[in-house]
Amino acid sequence: MSAQPLTYESVLELIRENSREMREEHREFRRSLKEQGAEFDRRMEEQRAEYTREKKKRDAELARIEKETNRKIGDLTGSIGRMVEHMIGERIVEKFQALGYGVTRPVLRNHSFENTKLWIKGEFDLTLVDSDIIILIEVKTTLKTSNVRKHIKKIEEYRRHIDAVGFTQPPFSTRLLPSTRFIGAVAGAVATDEAKQFAHEKGLYTIVQSGEAVEIVQTPEGFKAKEW
């Protein structure tokens, strides 16, 4: 059978048919894009909702941890404060006098120093003062070996500071003598055996809480307090 010759009307009909198919494909494509967009929006909304829920949970947990941390810090601060009060109330000066030290002056609390030229500064929880001997005391809730090391370093820096300023009077009411000696002591509501042994090895006294009182731990035979 021979092919029908193309006429203007047949060509026009083919163009119209192709146009209808293209429009249908375009409508289908747009419908598909719209559905995909809606699905994408739905998933994004779910993810945002999940993120919001997780963020609220994390924020609540962080707030709980911060509150608990602040409470523990408050407890530690209170424990140190109570121990310092015990040490003052128990007349720690007399306990050191019983060991042969001539400290007679009141206890200085939160005794700080700073030397900008030497780039050093520090603070001692308690200081027992006399013109010839000064006892520098560090107080911790739990006394560890690392605390003893840090206290020794701080005493060394304080010695450098005093030598540099020429024994000026602050924070003491009388001028220090060139012969003034510094010795160290560490105190803890709880003290590890290692910390007490290390302190004694380094020539520091150890003070511990015993019930409602405080006491100086008996030093080992041959103990000699280090002087700075």
Give the pLDDT band of residue 31 (cuts 50, 70, 90): confident
Hey, what amino acid is at 115? N
Torsion of CA 150, 155, 161, 167, to 10 degrees: 160
Report the CATH number that the domain containing residue 182 is assigned in CATH: 3.40.1350
In a domain, 228, yes or no: no
In a domain, 62, yes or no: yes
Residue 61 belongs to what domain range?
Answer: 7-79
Q: Domain check: are 22 and 118 in the same one?
A: no
CB 217 within 8 A of CB 207: yes
Question: pLDDT at residue 125 above 90?
Answer: no
- What's residue 174's pLDDT? 52
The reported pTM is 0.61
Q: Domain check: are 163 and 202 in the same one?
A: yes
Q: Which whole number is the average pLDDT over 173-200? A: 84
In a domain, 227, yes or no: no
Q: Domain check: are 58 and 128 in the same one?
A: no
Q: What's the domain count of the chain?
A: 2
pLDDT in tens, 67-109: 665 555 555 555 565 556 556 545 688 888 889 888 876 667 7
- What's residue 212's pLDDT? 62
Q: Domain check: are 53 and 133 in the same one?
A: no
Residue 106: both structure tokens together: 């009141």
Q: Which whole number is the average pLDDT over 200-213? A: 86
CB 167 within 8 A of CB 177: yes
Q: Domain check: are 177 and 74 in the same one?
A: no
Residue 176: both structure tokens together: 């220090």
